[in-house]
Structure 1
Amino acid sequence: MVKKNKVLASIVAATLVAGTFVGCGGTTATSNNAKEITVWSHLKEKEITELTKVAEKWGSEKGVKVNVVDDKGEMQAYIQAANSSKGPDILFGVPNDNLGTFQKAGLLSEVPSGFIDESKYTSKQVIDSVTIEGKKYAVPLAAETSALFYNKDKVSEVPKTMEEVVELGKKVGFEYDVTDLYRSYGFLASQGSYIFKNNNGTVDSNDIGLGNEGAIKGYQFIQDLIVKDKLMSQDITDDIAKADFQSGKSAFYISGPWDIEAFKDSGINFGIAPMPTLGGKTVSTLMGVQTAFVSSKSPNQDLSWELMKYLMENSDDLMIKQGNRIPVSKAGIESDAFKAAGNMDVFAKQLEVATAMPNIPEIQTTWTPVKNNIISLISGSMDSKETAKQIVDQIKEGIKQQK
């Protein structure tokens, strides 16, 4: 899941000990003469198993030893590992909101000219997600967003509006982690809010939209869910909301494709629908894009890009089947694997109206202020206007500290 791997604002100052890198990364990159490539992967274990087979097939054909490592370390580890020459040649499966921090640290190789054929991808936003200041620093692999899960045994017809979800939810239950910007963003965006202004692909961190009139309306909707409509408790978390949906206590839940496998295993009779409208307006959820890049510190640049191309062309199926991820390539969306996945097409439809997460370093200053202030909002200790102001003030302060 995208949000699990958020890089902290203090990432550049990370001071992890070298021993961490051995546990996280295993074999280090070597010289071109050694013909050995190391890939750190942040995908799920099942995906990594299949990715290893793909990488080793390429390696056997090329006479190159490929080490695919399940990197369970925090994202901060990459910066120090790369700077100490103990990092990988390729990092595979990195959420796009981390790219700006890595690029600022000088650790991303620019994607070679012509390497990405933009016409083969599902949207310009996918390309924008790996583009910083007009240059591409990673390749897009797959996408995620959130949608509305519902219990088919309790809901005969899926509501078309959030207003209807709220009213029906009073009878059958509606819960989700309202403090999570990733899940709540759509309710802000539908009213005219945004995180940072996107000017034709250039993200302006000086223009923060989380305090405008649209944001205030969105915060009010979120507060009403708890304070007025009493749909969930003030201490709601994703673990609570997910458990209540899985047990049948709640009939509506907002989340992403990462929860599909658990719900299938639980036996719950569930469906997924695109997000209903709010106030008659489209709910534009956040799009997270899983990416891969070549380390600027890798001594194996040509080999790494050659392997990257092979992995790009042969990883759609494994990420669909083993990771419940949405392809970003047109070929992936049209593949038999995707068509057979079930429910996944709903997320692809939601992605058509989703907004790509900003990939500039300043995005890391947003998650905590939003969470903390929404906690105060739903406790009733602040109103929506105060919440908006506090969030923007704290983001501005966080950006100052980054400089």
Structure 2
Amino acid sequence: MYKKSKKLIALCLSVMLISGLTGCKKTIPEEQEVFTGSGAANVNEMVPEKDAKLVFWASDKEYGEAIGKAFEEKYGVPVTVAQEGMGTVDKIALSGPSGEGADVFITGHDNFEKGMSSGVFMELEDAIVDEMKSKVPESGLNTVLSDGKFYGIPISIEVNCLFYNKDLVETPASTLEEIIEGAKTFNDVQNNKFNLLCTIGDGYYEFPFLSSQGFQLFGENGDDQDNPGFDTDEFEKGLELISELHDIMPITSADLNNKSSLKANFMEGNVAYFISGPWDVTQIQESGMNFGITELPTYQGKQLTPFAGVQCAFVSTFTKYPIAAELLANFLISDEGASILYTENNGITTISDISNVEGLSADPYLPAFVNQFENSIPMPSVKRISYFWSIAADIDRAVFDGQITPAEGRAKAIENWEALLATE
């Protein structure tokens, strides 16, 4: 049914190193058959291996079991589900060689580099890749792409959007300039009323303001960990915008870093616009307030582009049933799989066309995140991303509070970066 070739697994050493670090004595066999494709022209021609059975690791067991049941009904392949969260890549590297790990597992795209270096992601064949490309936007595809090859399927997203109070806003602003102008008449600091509130002191929330000025963290593709982009005019211009935000949010960055307080103030009806993500939708909805969600606005004609966090499904290189495993991973971005994601986990699919995704297509709030995802940047998965979080927290607060100028912030960011490099 499909071709296999025997060869030494080049990445055996990396997995052995992981095992050594954790005290595990399991290693990959010296020689293992490597899947080279089913030979199918498209997904519809792919047929699971005879007597195939799969193990699926998901972060939510109810979601995983619903997927497993639907997949078995469609393909006749039984799926055993286990709930696994943190450290999934390491667990696959340790348990996979002995056949005890998952065939398909889900992990955040920020683990992609680790998984590639560990050799635990199986490269997907063309039929699966073509199907994925027809459904998922580039912002998702880039999270599972390495040297022109695809090693996973992006299945769900998290991204920031613009929440707004419908009792205060008739038509949501499409530009930041509108919000800035509205603050001049709406703001009432003494009574805790603000036209806009957003977190300051967290690089995840501040990135859209930096990106709107052309700042590229770790290069164009987010994979150049030697080039954070701090020594650029675009970064300094982004800091200038963050500094200007103090005019419409005239409180301290410490107060604006209290996310719970900002959300509470929004739910109490004191705030017209609030920037947050899908994790806050349920609580705000349960509060009973009349609100809507739309895409982030533009500034000076340029889009505020947020980071995207993506959960991805990967097929283990150790699977005994690669065709069945690929079909299971692909099923996660089918209309049925996306519907299960929504109904069981309130999750948001990566696929652009949600018209046939049961529940999500009619949801009054979550489709905005699907639209925003197309104008987002996958959060870099390089190891030095932690340096950005600490530097952004330090510099952005100081600039916003007026303790240093944007130019001084640029210089300080470079200084802090070099200090962190010296600790390696």
TM interval, short-chain normalised: 0.7 to 0.9
**Cα distance change of structure 1 residues 158 and 206 upon mapping to structure 2, 3 Å threshold:** same
Name the structure 1 match of 2:177: 163
Task: Tell me, yes or no, if the aligned pair for 1:147 and 1:347 is still in contact at 8 Å.
Answer: yes
TM-score where L is the length of structure 2: 0.74
Quick one: which amino acid aligns to residue 110 of structure 1? E
Q: Given that residues 320 and 338 in structure 1 are in contact (C-alpha distance below 8 angstroms), is that contact kept between their aligned partners in structure 2? A: yes
Cα pair distance change 1:168/1:227, threshold 3 Å: closer
- SS of 1:91's partner is strand
Query: What is the match of residue 311 of structure 2?
Result: 290
Give the Cα–Cα distance (whole angstroms) in 2 for the partners of residues 61 and 319 of structure 1. 17
Name the CA distance, whole Å, in 2 between partners of 1:258 and 1:264.
11
The partner residue of 2:79 within 48, 66, 78 is 66
Of the candidates 38, 58, 68, which is equivalent to residue 55 of structure 2? 38
Give the residue type in structure 2 aligned to 1:245: F
Q: Is the 8 A contact 2:157 2:348 kept in 1?
A: yes
Match of 2:15 in 1: none
Change (3 A) 1:322 1:266: farther
Counterpart of 2:3 in structure 1 is none
Q: Is 1:152 aligned to 2:166, yes or no?
A: yes
Question: What is the deviation of 1:397?
Answer: 6.1
Task: State which of 289, 293, 303 in structure 2 corresponds to 1:272.
Answer: 293
> What percent of counterpart residues are identical?
24
Could you tell me how far apart the structure 2 residues matched to 1:382 and 1:202 are?
27
Matched letter for residue 349 of structure 2: P
1:83 aligned to which of 63, 70, 94: 94
Structure 2 Cα separation of the partners of residues 237 and 318 of structure 1: 34
**Greater C-alpha radius of gyration:** 2
- 3-state SS of paired residue (1:291): strand
C-alpha distance 102-325 of structure 1, shift in aligned 2 (>3 A): same
**Counterpart in the other structure of 1:24:** none
1:214 equivalenced with 2:214 (yes/no): no
Q: Give, in whole Å, the separation in 2 of the partners of 1:317 and 1:326.
A: 9
Bigger relative contact order (CA 8 A; separation at least 6): 1
Q: Secondary structure at the match of 1:116?
A: helix
CA gap 1:288/1:371 in 2 versus in 1, 3 angstroms: same
C-alpha distance 192-168 of structure 1, shift in aligned 2 (>3 A):
same
Cα distance in 2 for partners of 1:98, 1:159 equals 36
1:245 and 2:259 equivalent? no
Q: Flag structure 1 segments of 5+ consecutive residues without an equivalent.
A: 1-11, 19-31
Task: Measure the CA separation in 2 of the matches of 1:365 and 1:296.
Answer: 31
Partners of 2:71 and 2:303 in 1: CA distance: 44
Distance 1:147 1:205, change over 3 A: same
Counterpart pick for 2:366 among 329, 344, 347: 344
Query: Which residue of structure 1 lines up, in the alignment, with residue 328 of structure 2?
Result: 307
> Which residue of 52, 56, 62 corresponds with 2:69?
56
More displaced 10-residue stretch of structure 1: 147-156 or 217-226: 217-226
Range that drifts further, 123-132 or 347-356? 347-356
- Deviation track 1:103-155 (CA, whole Å, cap 9, x = no partner) reads 12322222233212254224233222210222211111133321111112223
Q: Give the stretch that moved more between structures: 378-387 or 99-108.
A: 378-387
Alignment check: 8 A CA contact 2:109 2:381 kept: yes
2: distance between equivalents of 1:381 and 1:232?
A: 11
Q: Work out whether residues 133 and 141 of structure 2, in 8 Å CA contact, stay in contact via their aligned partners in 1.
A: no
CA RMSD of aligned residues (A): 3.4
Which residue matches 1:140?
A: 154
| Separation of aligned partners in 1, 2:398 and 2:19 | 30
Residue in 1 that maps onto 2:277:
256
> How has the CA–CA distance of structure 1 residues 284 and 228 changed in structure 2, closer, same or farther, with 3 Å as cutoff?
closer
Query: Distance in 2 between the 1:392 and 1:401 partners?
Result: 15
Q: Which amino acid aligns with 2:376?
A: A
Kept in 2, the 8 Å contact 1:178–1:184? The answer is yes
**1:83–1:297 contact (8 Å) kept in structure 2:** no
Measured in 2, the distance between the counterparts of 1:58 and 1:324 equals 19
2:139 to 91, 105, 125: 125
Contact 2:236–2:407 (Cα < 8 Å) also in 1: yes
User: What secondary structure sits across from 1:127 in the alignment?
Assistant: helix
Following superposition, the deviation at residue 267 of structure 1 comes to 0.8
Helix, strand or coil at the partner of 1:104 = helix
Q: Distance in 2 between matches of 1:211 and 1:195?
A: 11
Is structure 2 residue 105 aligned with structure 1 residue 106?
no
SS at match of 2:102: coil
Instruction: Assess, with a 3 A threshold, how the Cα gap between structure 1 residues 372 and 106 changes in structure 2: closer, same or farther.
Output: farther
Q: CA–CA distance in 1 between the matches of 2:51 and 2:417?
A: 46
How far is 1:337 from its partner? 3.3
Q: 1:13 to 1:183 in 2, by over 3 A?
A: farther
User: Structure 2: how far apart are the matches of 1:278 and 1:216?
Assistant: 16
Report how many aligned residue pairs link the two structures.
369
* Superposed displacement of residue 187, structure 1: 0.8
Compare 373-382 and 246-255 and name the one that shifted more: 373-382
Question: Counterpart of 1:358 in 2: which secondary structure?
Answer: coil
SS of residue matched to 1:197: coil
